[in-house]
């Protein structure tokens, strides 16, 4: 698939995904969503990468929401299908086996906030602004904003921000636990790369399984405790674990196979 709404660059085994719709404040239209779908359900798994950073083009927005112009032709059925598609794509990001970091500079509103929340970590610049302002349009969040925001900041605050449509500035987002760091842009980008490189030194199967089991805690269809017990036991029998334990006992750096 040829990417037109997204730009993909791989630098030192890290994928940099840029939403390339600066004039539209990087709004998530159908093309953006289709290309995210292609990347996270197909293409990225074929690349030799340690993780990915998602960011928006320019300095005004990570993604200022969905493309509202596409809503006017939707009815109840097609609207539900759009929401279901967004859920599926963002779940693919959330469950990706490598770390995915949202680098949020400027607005991350509506679907943009939901995309950031689907990533494993969020690093914000000092100008970042988050929010779920859909009530201003007579709507609710449609890409799991009502589900992920309470998990990240708690029910009470999630209720407040979703019902009022108020925006969350970067330092408040940090205090709420919505983001991991707030830094100037260059430092924020470097921090994202630093974290991915650090995770890249760990056991790859352990990283993938940690993502899987943490996500299982929030998945009503799974028993996260049972999954952890099962994976922990199976991990002990792997060459990866044997190498990690041997390296620790021998006081050397583990050499994990990738």
pLDDT digits (tens, 9 = 90+) for 132-168: 999 999 999 999 999 999 999 999 999 999 999 999 9
Ranges of each domain in the chain: 6-199, 204-249
Number of Cβ within a 10 Å radius of residue 94: 19
**Residue 19 pLDDT more than 90?**
yes
The span from the CA of 188 to the CA of 103, in Å, is 7
Instruction: Assess whether pLDDT exceeds 90 at residue 95.
Output: yes
Question: What pLDDT, on a 0 to 100 scale, did the predictor assign at position 170?
Answer: 97
Strand 129-131, strand 107-109: pairing = parallel
Q: What percent of the chain has pLDDT over 90?
A: 94
Task: Express each pLDDT in 107-135 by its tens digit.
Answer: 999 999 999 999 999 999 999 999 999 99
The string of pLDDT tens digits covering residues 23-69 is: 999 999 999 999 999 999 999 999 999 999 999 999 999 999 998 88
What DSSP character marks residue 104?
A: E
In the prediction, which pLDDT does 15 show? 98
Longest dimension (CA), the chain: 64
Selection from 94, 113, 118, 90 nearest residue 169 by Cα: 113
Helix, strand, coil % over all residues of the chain, rounded to 5: 50, 15, 30
pLDDT of 256 > 90? The answer is yes
* Mean of all residue pLDDT scores within the chain: 96
| CATH number for the domain running over 6-199 | 3.90.226.10
User: Catalytic residue numbers?
Assistant: 114, 134
Instruction: Please report, rounded to a whole number, the percentage of residues in the chain having pLDDT higher than 70.
Output: 100
Query: Residue 90: which pLDDT band, with cuts at 50, 70 and 90?
Result: very high
- Output the pLDDT for position 73: 87
User: What confidence tier does 206 reach under pLDDT thresholds 50, 70, 90?
Assistant: very high
- The 3-class secondary structure across 32-62, one letter per residue, is HHHHHHHHHHHHHHHCCCCEEEEEECCCCEE
Average confidence (pLDDT) over 239-252 = 94
Band of the pLDDT at 212, cuts 50, 70, 90?
very high
The stretches of the chain forming alpha helices (DSSP H) are 30-38, 76-94, 111-118, 145-153, 155-164, 170-176, 185-199, 204-217, 224-236, 239-249
Which band of pLDDT confidence, cut at 50, 70 and 90, is reported for residue 71? confident
> What pTM, to 2 d.p., does this model score?
0.96
Give the pLDDT score at 67. 86
How many other C-beta atoms lie within 10 A of the C-beta of residue 79?
13
């Amino acid at each position: 698939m040829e990417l037109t709404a997204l730009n993909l660059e791989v630098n030192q085994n890290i994928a940099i995904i840029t939403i390339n719709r600066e004039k539209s404040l990087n709004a998530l239209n159908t093309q953006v969503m289709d290309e995210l779908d292609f990347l996270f359900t197909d293409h990225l798994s074929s690349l030799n990468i340690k993780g990915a950073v998602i960011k928006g083009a320019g300095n005004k927005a990570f993604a200022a929401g969905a493309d509202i112009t596409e809503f006017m032709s939707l009815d109840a059925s097609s609207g539900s299908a759009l929401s279901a598609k967004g859920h599926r794509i963002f779940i693919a990001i959330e469950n990706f086996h490598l770390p995915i970091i949202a680098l949020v500079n400027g607005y991350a509103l509506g679907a943009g906030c939901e995309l950031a929340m689907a990533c494993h970590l969020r690093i914000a610049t000092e100008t970042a602004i988050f929010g779920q302002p859909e009530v201003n349009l007579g709507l609710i969040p449609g890409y799991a904003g009502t589900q992920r925001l309470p998990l990240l900041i708690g029910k009470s605050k999630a209720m407040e921000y979703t019902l009022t449509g108020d925006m969350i500035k970067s330092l408040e987002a940090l205090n709420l636990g919505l983001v991991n760091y707030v830094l100037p842009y260059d430092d924020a980008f470097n921090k994202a790369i630093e974290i991915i490189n650090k995770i890249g030194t760990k056991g790859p199967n352990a990283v993938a399984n940690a993502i899987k089991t943490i996500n299982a805690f929030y998945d009503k269809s799974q028993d996260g405790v049972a999954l952890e017990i099962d994976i922990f036991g199976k991990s002990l029998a792997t060459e990866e674990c044997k190498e990690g334990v041997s390296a620790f006992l021998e006081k050397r750096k583990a050499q994990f196979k990738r």
